[in-house]
Amino acid sequence: MRILLVEDEKRVASFIVRGLKEEHYAVDTADEAEKGLFMAGVNPYDLIILDVMLPGMDGLTLCRELRNKKQTVPILMLTARGSVKDKVQGLNAGADDYLAKPFEFEELLARVKALLRRNRFEKSTQILVGDLRLDQITHEVERGGKRIELTSKQYALLEYLMIHAGTIVTRTMISEHVWNESFDTLTNVIDVYVNYLRNKIDKGFAKPLIHTVRGTGYVFKES
């Protein structure tokens, strides 16, 4: 899952980015609304975390602009102002959720996961494909009862493939959702990571789950 954080307070932004990356999310950042608006227009994000108090255009205006541009991405709004009136303004501007500062990262993370599940019309925190199970809360992965250890990026790639099980995903789609803006599209990093996953979740099992679609990308499904 790829997230855009629009936050001008460097300390707060660093705190959020560090925590989200530890939870296997790819994160891009913008320190002003205009930059955030541009990035949201050129990159496919799964969620936007948006501070209200920004230099220049404020977060409420940015939220309205995103909705006016038919952006349906979930938006979690952050603000130091936590009154009912402020929350109503944020929700009326088009935000999906509203979190007042200061906050504990655990609560932010819970709201992020809830919004991502809601956007996929899912309530379960577990994804099952055949005998492979991925738990989005504990990050545990098992196949046939065997625990599989993955690195942060391997987990993020597997989660993306499982969410889109049965659908062909291109290398571009993978790079846009699993990696951030610094990703070099000219490298073979995606193929390398797919091979890492194959060695961990397919090797030794009768039915492979990761299938190459020649010239296009990959599809995750039971044979």
What percent of the chain has a predicted confidence (pLDDT) above 90?
69
Q: Is 124 helix (H, G, I), strand (E, B) or coil?
A: coil
- The pLDDT of residue 134: 94
Mean local confidence (pLDDT), 22-42: 93
Note the maximum CA span of the chain. 58
The reply to whether domains 2-119 and 126-220 share a CATH topology is: no
Among left, alpha and beta (phi > 0; psi -120 to 50; other), residue 139 is left
Is the peptide bond preceding residue 102 cis, with omega within 30 degrees of 0? yes
Mean local confidence (pLDDT), 1-21: 94
Least confident span in 2-16, 42-56, 107-121:
107-121
- The pLDDT of residue 67: 94
What's the whole-model pTM score? 0.73
Fold of 2-119: Rossmann fold (3.40.50)
pLDDT (tens digit per residue) in 158-211: 999 999 999 999 988 898 888 877 777 678 899 999 999 999 999 989 899 999
- The pLDDT of residue 85: 81
Of the pLDDT bands very low, low, confident and very high (cuts 50, 70, 90), residue 136 is: confident
Burial grade of 67 (CB within 10 A; 0-12, 13-18, 19 or more): middle
- The pLDDT of residue 184: 73
DSSP-derived secondary structure letter, 126: E
Mean local confidence (pLDDT), 119-142: 84
- What does the chain come to in residues? 223
Q: Is the pLDDT of residue 129 over 60?
A: yes
Domain 126-220: give its CATH architecture: Orthogonal Bundle (1.10)
Give the Cα separation of 160 and 47 in Å (integer).
Answer: 14
Domain borders along the chain are 2-119, 126-220
Average pLDDT, the chain: 90
- The pLDDT of residue 121: 60
pLDDT (tens digit per residue) in 110-124: 999 999 888 766 556
- The pLDDT of residue 86: 79
